[in-house]
């Protein structure tokens, strides 16, 4: 899985992991913070939340255009500095008045712009590592590994957000609203780690940093005809149109799915049912998955197989130890559900790579556009599952009036855990494959801008996330989830209808 990859991949992936850890620590509590600190309605909080996500994914277009002129490396460094400034502002507890609201909005603008300079350009650099013919066949697997690294940071983020929030509230004596700012401060520290990794291993990827203005030897050579360029651009924009609706649905994880976790999910668990809510237990499961792959990999040495066996035994022993230590019930905090998606991404990446690797050897691996279409269908299944789970539950508006009484309706946390599993299958089919598709198909002279357009499509999808917030109220929950189910199904049908054009662009 890791063999044959350019070493620059691992350096860039680790730098991105640090940045993503801080970002997802903030995102884990942000929607709840907006409602608790400013007293906003679900719809208004959803509008601010989705608008911020839109900025995070829109500004890479600007970052890509600037990078095409000044170089990717410069934009990555500048982006980290700008993001740091935004997170620093967000970390200051200013209360809930006008000054606090304006400062928060300014901080969100800085974070969005800084992310725009950093995120897309780092991914373009990853893609350019595979322009070397000896790495070309590893492009899709490389992006899968890169995506997995992002989610390692995201895996620990919800736990970090909750623990530091509890520490600030119960040990330092801050009230619940002020304590949220300590979770935001984690992002500042993570960015320092990120830039340190970037410069420590810069020699591994410096050749893809760009900066053509100073180095005429790096001028891009574009051998495509105008007709080929047009065909590729059409294919890219068709994909962009579809991913809008995937992200509109998927990023309900930070909004309506978090509302559902907070308002409709049982708030404690006992025995073995409580174990998934401890991030270290999930890490042990990940260790078992990777060790088993090492054991059964034909290329693993005998010594490596024995090490893998040792890891499995140690991880299982740790899980047994954790189970024996359980006493009473464990409180479940709504943000903790957001660690299941990155957990599944990290755990399932080797599984998906093994499946597609086996299909590739037989010449049957689906194309990237086909994988994207399948991803939309899988996302539809996830929301169908949520709709089924929500039949018979109170409306959110009524649930608020009866919270804590016998009239409230709650479901097992395993409904949400299962939905995150299904959504992750869809994400693994769509997101890394989409990024890989853009890096492969984009005409060379527009590569930075096209990666930026991928994020613009994601931005539009994230702006539409607020639809869930506005539906959250008097409507039955199964109706809310059915909206996203329908959107995903229609998008998948459109994708399959355009498949010939999409696949022709990769030829």
**Domain boundaries of the chain, sorted by first residue:** 7-204+225-267+332-504, 271-328
At 292, the pLDDT band (50, 70, 90 cuts) reads very high
- Alpha-carbon distance of 386 to 110, in angstroms, equals 35
Residue range 220-248, pLDDT digits in tens:
556 778 888 888 888 899 889 988 999 99
pLDDT at 213 over 60: no
**How many angstroms separate the most distant Cα atoms in the chain?**
72
- 13 token code pair: 């992936």
Q: What percent of the chain has pLDDT over 90?
A: 41
At 383, the pLDDT band (50, 70, 90 cuts) reads very high
- Alpha-carbon distance of 118 to 82, in angstroms, equals 10
Q: State the virtual CA torsion across 472, 253, 336, 149 in degrees, nearest 10.
A: -170
At 256, the pLDDT band (50, 70, 90 cuts) reads very high
* pLDDT for residue 220: 53
pTM above 0.75, yes or no: yes
Q: Which CATH class, in words, describes the domain spanning 7-204+225-267+332-504?
A: mainly alpha
Residue range 444-457, pLDDT digits in tens:
878 777 877 887 88
* pLDDT for residue 214: 43
* pLDDT for residue 64: 81
Buried b (16+ CB within 10 A) or exposed e, 298-322: eeeeeeeeeebeebbeebeebbeeb
Q: Are 228 and 373 in contact (CB under 8 A)?
A: no
User: Whose structure tokens read 């169908």?
Assistant: 384
- 119 token code pair: 């995120």
pLDDT at 468 over 90: yes
* pLDDT for residue 58: 86
Of 54-63, 100-109, 361-370, the range with the highest mean pLDDT is: 100-109
Mean pLDDT of 11-23: 90
At 180, the pLDDT band (50, 70, 90 cuts) reads confident
392, with CB counted inside 10 A (0-12, 13-18, 19+), is: exposed
Mean pLDDT of 140-153: 81
Backbone angles phi, psi at 268, to 5 degrees: -155, 160
* pLDDT for residue 507: 66
Q: At what angle do helices 98-129 and 139-166 cross, to 10 degrees?
A: 150
Sign of CA dihedral 153, 113, 83, 168: negative
- Alpha-carbon distance of 446 to 237, in angstroms, equals 13
Please state, rounded to an integer, the average pLDDT across all residues of the chain. Answer: 88
- Alpha-carbon distance of 210 to 444, in angstroms, equals 13
At 215, the pLDDT band (50, 70, 90 cuts) reads very low
- Alpha-carbon distance of 469 to 310, in angstroms, equals 47
Task: Look up residue 498 and give its DSSP letter.
Answer: T
- 475 token code pair: 């409507």
Mean pLDDT of 129-149: 82
Mean pLDDT of 364-378: 89
The CB density around residue 248, as the number of other CB atoms within 10 Å, is 25
- Alpha-carbon distance of 157 to 20, in angstroms, equals 9
* pLDDT for residue 148: 81
- Alpha-carbon distance of 116 to 490, in angstroms, equals 30
Mean pLDDT of 349-360: 82
């Amino acid at each position: 899985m890791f063999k044959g990859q350019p070493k620059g991949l691992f350096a860039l992936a680790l730098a991105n992991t640090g940045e993503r850890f801080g970002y997802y620590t903030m995102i884990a509590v942000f929607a709840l913070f907006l409602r608790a600190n400013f007293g906003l309605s679900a719809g208004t909080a959803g509008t601010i939340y989705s608008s911020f996500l839109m900025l995070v994914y829109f500004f890479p277009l600007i970052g890509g255009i600037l990078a095409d002129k000044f170089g990717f490396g410069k934009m990555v460094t500048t982006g980290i500095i700008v993001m740091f400034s935004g997170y620093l502002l967000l970390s200051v507890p200013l209360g809930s008045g006008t000054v606090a609201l304006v400062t928060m909005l300014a901080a969100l603008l800085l974070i969005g712009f800084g992310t725009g300079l950093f995120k897309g350009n780092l991914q373009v650099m990853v893609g350019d590592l595979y322009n070397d013919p000896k790495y070309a066949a590893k492009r899709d697997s490389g992006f899968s590994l890169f995506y997995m690294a992002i989610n390692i940071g995201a895996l620990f983020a919800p736990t970090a957000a909750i623990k530091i929030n509890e520490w600030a509230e119960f040990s330092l004596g801050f009230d619940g609203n002020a304590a949220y700012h300590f979770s935001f401060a984690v992002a500042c520290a993570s960015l320092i780690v990120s830039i340190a990794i970037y410069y420590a291993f810069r020699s591994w990827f410096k050749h893809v940093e760009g900066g053509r203005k100073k180095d005429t030897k790096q001028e891009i050579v574009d051998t495509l005809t105008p007709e080929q360029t047009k065909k590729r651009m059409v294919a890219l924009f068709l994909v962009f149109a579809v991913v809008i609706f995937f992200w509109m649905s998927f990023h309900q994880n930070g909004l309506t799915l978090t509302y559902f976790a907070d308002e409709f999910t049982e708030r404690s668990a006992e025995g073995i049912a409580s174990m998934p809510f401890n991030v270290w237990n999930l890490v042990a499961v990940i260790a078992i998955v990777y060790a088993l792959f090492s054991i059964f990999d034909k290329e693993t040495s005998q010594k490596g197989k024995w090490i893998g066996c040792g890891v499995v035994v140690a991880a299982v022993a740790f899980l047994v130890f954790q189970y024996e230590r359980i006493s009473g019930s464990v409180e479940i905090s709504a943000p903790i559900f957001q660690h299941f998606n990155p957990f599944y991404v990290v755990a399932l990446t080797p599984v998906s790579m093994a499946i597609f690797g086996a299909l590739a050897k037989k010449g049957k691996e689906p194309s990237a556009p086909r994988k994207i279409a399948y991803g939309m269908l899988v996302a539809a299944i996830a929301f169908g599952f949520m709709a089924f789970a929500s039949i018979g539950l109170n409306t959110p508006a009524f649930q608020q009036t009866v919270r804590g009484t016998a009239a409230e309706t709650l479901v097992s946390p395993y409904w949400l855990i299962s939905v995150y599993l299904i959504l992750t299958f869809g994400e693994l089919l769509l997101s890394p494959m989409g990024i890989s598709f853009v890096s492969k198909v984009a005409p060379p002279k527009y590569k930075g801008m096209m990666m930026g357009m991928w994020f613009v499509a994601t931005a539009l999808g994230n702006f539409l996330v607020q639809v869930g917030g506005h539906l959250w109220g008097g409507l039955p929950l199964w109706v809310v989830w059915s909206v996203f189910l329908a959107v995903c199904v229609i998008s998948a049908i459109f994708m399959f209808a355009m498949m010939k054009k999409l696949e022709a662009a990769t030829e």
